[in-house]
Amino acid sequence: KAGVTQTPRYLIKTRGQQVTLSCSPISGHRSVSWYQQTPGQGLQFLFEYFSETQRNKGNFPGRFSGRQFSNSRSEMNVSTLELGDSALYLCASSSGGRGDEQYFGPGTRLTVT
């Protein structure tokens, strides 16, 4: 079974720009969660999508948004980028039940200059 894939793996953007990251979950998984990893904060939950609906949301500003398509693939968008948005963005897929193991992708390393 193919794992979780994320594209692109690396990205450099300028302050004020916007960016879209993509995540393809494991086949059959309906839940996709997004996390931001920074050195000082560890992994922080952004949001979760299940069957094309946002089911849960973390404490991030509205500049961070996402969506999920009918094939469970998910995209995350960050508008008006700030220097502090530089981070590793990880997505995780699962079957969607509470306690189901979440499988993480390798992440997208975003650098904002």
Minimum Å distance from CB 15 to another protein? 26
Q: Which is nearer to another protein, 14 or 84 (CB)?
A: 84
Which of 94, 75, 92 is closest to 30 using CA atoms?
Answer: 94
Can residue 52 be called a binding residue for another protein (CB under 8 A)?
no
Window 74 to 113, contacts with another protein (CB under 8 A): 90, 92, 94, 96-107
Give the bridge partners for 35, in sequence order: 45, 90
Minimum Å distance from CB 78 to another protein? 19
Can residue 64 be called a binding residue for another protein (CB under 8 A)?
no
Q: Per DSSP, which regions of the chain are E strands? A: 5-7, 10-13, 19-24, 31-38, 42-50, 53-57, 64-68, 74-78, 87-94, 103-104, 108-112
Minimum Å distance from CB 92 to another protein? 8
Pairing mode, if any, of strands 87-94 and 103-104?
antiparallel
List 24, 31, 68, 74, residue binding another protein (CB under 8 A): 31
